[in-house]
Structures are given as C-alpha cells and as structure tokens.
Structure 1
Amino acid sequence: MARRDVEFTGEDVTLRGWFYPAQGAGATAPVIVMAHGFSAVKEMYLDKYGEAFSAAGLNVLVFDNRNFGASDGEPRQEIDPIQQVRDYRHAITYAQSLPEVDRTKVGVWGSSYSGGHVLVVGAIDKRVGAVVSQVPLVSGYENIRSLVRSDFIGGFREMFDADREARGRGEAPAMVPVVDKDPLAPSALPTPDSYQWFTETHEKRAPSWRNEVTLRTVEMLSEYEPGAWISRIAPTPLLLLVARNDVLTPTELAIGAYENAREPKKLVILPGGHFDAYVDGFDQSSGPATDWFVQHLGA
C-alpha cells in the first residue's frame, strides 16, 4: 500500500504530512512519528526513512513542522522548539487514532533540531516506547558558542531586542538566511556543509523549502536545552546516532549528553559529517534505527 496524504490538528493549526502503512502487517502494527530538523521540510529525505521503516513492518507518520512546508501556521518560517515538541505530541495522538496502528507501540524519530525534540518528547510523554535521536542538537547555548565568534554574539542580542520592539509595534518579523555561501556572513547555520546540503536538496527534491527563518527563531535556538531532559528518558529505550565529524551539532556535545542518559541506551557513531546520514550514509543511519524500533516495539 502506498503512502497517503494526511492532516491533523495541532489544536490551533492544521499539520500535514504522509502516512506509510506497515508492509506485511496482518493486523495493527507499531507506529513511528517523525518530523524534520531546523527549517527542513519532509521532502528532504524523510520519505526514504518512511519507506525503510514501512518495509520493516512499521507504520510511519511523517509531518511538516508548523509554519513550514505543507503545514499551516504563522508567522511562516518561524521555529519555536517548544511548540514543535508539542506538535510531536499532537502527532502521536493522531497516529494512535488510526485503525492500522497499535496504540500501545509508539516510537519517535528526530534528526538534528528534531533530534533534540525527541529527547524531550521521550522524557515527558510516556506513550512513547522507543526513541531514535539522529545527529541531535543537545544545547542551543553551547551550539551557538561553537558556531558563532564570541565577538559577534553581542551584535545578535542587539538585533533580537530591536526585532522584539519592532514586533511590538506591529511590524513584520525580521528574517535571516538559514544558510549562506559565505560561512562568515549572517545566517542561522553558518557551516559550508549546511549551505551545500540545503541548496542541493532544495533543487533536487524540495522546491517548497525557503532559505530564511525569522530572527526570533535564532533567539529561541539559543535558549533551547533539550539535552537537559536526556536523563529522564529511561526506562524508555534510547538510540543516539552521532556523526563522527559533525561540525554543525558538534560530535562531542552529543556524546557528552549520551553519558548523562540512563539505560537502556545505545550509541552508534555514523561515518562522515552532519548531513551524510541522509544521503551517502543513509543505510548506516536507517539500519540501526529500524533495528531499534523493531527490537523495542515489535513489527
């Protein structure tokens, strides 16, 4: 059975995505709930993960984050990480209502920014029976300190305050590029591999992606600490997939967070950098994730 388009309520907005039925399932089967990372839309390789999990006998619900892609929400291109965590929980509620789904067997998958979200969801939502976090952001504060020169950070704060005052006057939100060809130019993700992956993937498979986010998105990123929740995930099983040469969500930050997680947990080191998991290293990232879900949810 082919995937189908779905929509569901995030209470105040409609969220849209795809549902992949579990292949070979005679009755109900577990479900994996997944959304993409910072500014990305579902067409940016989440279909490949959905197909892989579906082929292993798992139902999959993939959705676009609010304010992005096919989902509703205003202001467009604004990422509130706490709201995105809530939307994962709305997606779980919707997934549990589907006739194909065994509502007692729910897994969550996230990557990069949403790799941080699933750490929070796994800690606070005990409907979740297994967590896979791929190349996660674990600390917004530490991440920005590692990417932005310290003498630039004060300038960002002044921009945040000016934007807050402008919004208070009813003006449109200030915007910033997600990526820029020049890693020293202002952008939310100032690494060369970010620029290459987003621009190439936009051209090849995701025309709806836009190279901008609100400036407040960057401020909220700097405040977000999903790694603080990692010790509370247990006894829900956690798989952490970390790229060996990750310069966007630095390898050592993710491994440091893993040390704070409790059993049952597993760490897999992926080859390459942050974005290799989606393309050249897809088998290496999707294989352990599939195995983890099948092991802990059944299929």
Structure 2
Amino acid sequence: MEVKQFEIYSDKNVLKGKHYGANVATKKDKIILMCHGFAGTQDLFLPKYAEKFSLAGFDVITFDYNGFGESEGEIEIVPENQMRDISNVALYLRKNEEFRDKRLYLWGTSLGGLYVLKLASILENISGVYAQITFSNGLRNNTSLLNFEEKEKYLNQLENIKYKEVVENKKLLLPLKKLLSDSQSKIFLEKYKEEFFTLLSTRLSLSTVRDINQLSIDLHLEKIQVPVLLLKANNDIVNLPQEMDFIYKSLKCDKKLLEYDCGHYDVYEDEVFLLSITEQIKWFSK
C-alpha cells in the first residue's frame, strides 16, 4: 500500500492530507473521503480504517481540519469552517485528474458524521455516505438527560461565557479532558495520553460547546438522496443512541443501520472494529 501526502488551501491555510492508494488487485474506482470527529486528527484511528479500505480496493483520503494535526490555522472548532474544509477536499478530488473519474463516498465519525450527512444533502456528485456514533441535533443530544433546572443552568453558563468573549475579547480555554468529561471520554483520554500527547494537550474555547449546541441537521436528513450506512453504539453516552435512531428514521433514502452493544470509543477497537469494517467494506463495494 502506497501512502502519498497532498496539500490544498482552505480558508487561505495549507490543509494537509494523505492518499492511501487502492490495492491494484482489487481496485474499484471508488474514493472514500474520511472525516474525523471532535478535536481529532487524521492519525488518530483513521489509518487502521484506511488500510483496510485500501486493501479492499478503495482509494482513501484522510486530512486534518484547519488548525489541527499538520494543517495550518488556529486551533479552533468552528463547524461551518470544518465543513468547508471537507467541501474543499471534495472539490479537489472531483477536479484532480487522478481522482475525478472515480465515485466519491463520504465517511464521518462522531462530529464528522454530522458533517458528512449535512454535506450529502447539499453537495453534488456524492455517491454515498457512512456516518457512525454521531448526532442530528446538538442541543437535544447534550441536554436530553438533564432536567429543566439543570438545562437552564447549563445554557446560562454557556451564554455568560460567550458574553465575556463578546465584551472582553477573551476566550476561556480548557484542555480536552475538561471539555470531554463523561466517563467514556475520560477512559479514552487516559488510554491515549502518551501516544497523542500533543493532541490531548489541546486547549479549546468553552464556547465551542455552545456552537455545537446550535448544530442541527434535522431538516437536512430527508433531503439526502444517496445511500446511507449508519453505525450506532447502543451504550454510547457521548452521542446518544437515540440520536442515531432519529437520523435513521428521518432518512428517506436507501439506508441501513448497524448496531453494536458498546460505548462511544469501542467502535474504533477490537471486535467491534473488525465486525463493522467488514460490513462497511461490503456496503461500499456494492
């Protein structure tokens, strides 16, 4: 398997990515564009998927959003900007001589799953979408387990933080372990703290949570016309499995839902990874 580096520009910054070449013996003239999730990089989890897809005959593209990994820019999660990064990579693939005659599929995990679903309702020349452990409505996902008073307190805190940014031009920056404070995320961060030290020491504005709360693709889902494969982790406490159910029920296109009794991060490892990657390869091969 040959892995080539490539660069494009997105929002005037150099965005860096990798092309995992398709196995010549099983080549399918299809490209899978992989989009990682919240604060991730293309070297976290994605290579193991890319290698399996490449071996099965797919060209695979991974990349780092602006400000993350090897790409230039400010370390900041602005959903609209990150979706624009994906759109720019997709444009590059549609126009580049090496890729333009191949069918393009979007692949997204966690927050990246929401991104690719929304883009599938907007972009042309997309042949299919895979989205796992994601959500459709940020506010619903992040507050559905709170009672009325807890929800009001939570929203008021985020509003006050944003207000301080507006009047004082100061951002409250917190490390990932503060932003991802649920029990499943704590285990994940502890497990990979040495391997991805730079990533896990990243500090992000707490107002990022407010921006994600404002994300919703509820009205975009029924507009998707290409086939969609979804994966739900039944014990996910980061992005609730109810959100995956909502997405599946709202889609009017050809669709399929994979379910596994595991937590959010378990989908990337061991048995669940092996089971799901097998299903993904079958689906993309159709």
For the residue of structure 1 that corresponds to 2:40, the secondary structure is coil
Structure 2 partner of 1:23: 23
Q: Is the 8 A contact 2:27 2:57 kept in 1?
A: no
| Counterpart Cα distance in 2 of 1:155 and 1:207 | 28
Alignment of 1:242 onto 2:232: yes
Structure 1 partner of 2:9: 9
How many residues matched?
Answer: 281
Instruction: Show structure 2 runs of 5+ residues with no match.
Output: none
User: Does the C-alpha gap of structure 1 residues 147 and 221 become closer, same or farther in structure 2, counting only changes over 3 Å?
Assistant: farther
Structure 1 partner of 2:273: 282
Compute the TM-score of the two structures, normalised by the length of structure 1.
0.87
Q: Is the 8 A contact 1:29 1:102 kept in 2?
A: no
Question: In the alignment, which of 272, 291, 294 is matched to residue 282 of structure 2?
Answer: 291
Question: In the alignment, which of 135, 160, 163 is matched to residue 161 of structure 1?
Answer: 163
For the residue of structure 2 that corresponds to 1:8, the secondary structure is strand
Structure 2 partner of 1:233: 224
| Counterpart Cα distance in 2 of 1:273 and 1:239 | 19
> For residue 279 of structure 2, what is the amino acid of its counterpart?
P
| Counterpart Cα distance in 2 of 1:137 and 1:210 | 25
Q: Is the 8 A contact 2:134 2:243 kept in 1?
A: no
| CA RMSD between the two structures | 2.0
Structure 1 partner of 2:101: 103
Q: Is the 8 A contact 2:175 2:200 kept in 1?
A: no
Larger relative contact order, structure 1 or 2 (CA cutoff 8 Å, min sep 6): 1
Alignment of 1:80 onto 2:78: yes
What does 1:182-201 align with in structure 2 at a 5 Å threshold?
187-201=178-192
Post-superposition CA distance 1:154-184 (Å, at most 9, x none): 12211111122222xxx4x3212322xxxxx
| Counterpart Cα distance in 2 of 1:97 and 1:130 | 18
User: Does the C-alpha gap of structure 1 residues 195 and 120 become closer, same or farther in structure 2, counting only changes over 3 Å?
Assistant: same
> For residue 73 of structure 1, what is the amino acid of its counterpart?
G
Compute the TM-score of the two structures, normalised by the length of structure 2.
0.91
| Counterpart Cα distance in 2 of 1:208 and 1:153 | 27
What does 1:256-267 align with in structure 2 at a 5 Å threshold?
256-267=246-257
Q: Is the 8 A contact 1:15 1:64 kept in 2?
A: yes
Q: Is the 8 A contact 1:30 1:102 kept in 2?
A: no
Aligned-pair distance for 1:201?
2.4
| Counterpart Cα distance in 2 of 1:206 and 1:130 | 34
Percent identical across equivalent pairs? Answer: 27
| Counterpart Cα distance in 2 of 1:158 and 1:212 | 19
| Counterpart Cα distance in 2 of 1:202 and 1:230 | 36
User: Does the C-alpha gap of structure 1 residues 99 and 20 become closer, same or farther in structure 2, counting only changes over 3 Å?
Assistant: farther
Aligned-pair distance for 1:207?
4.1
Instruction: Show structure 1 runs of 5+ residues with no match.
Output: 180-186
Q: Is the 8 A contact 1:147 1:190 kept in 2?
A: no
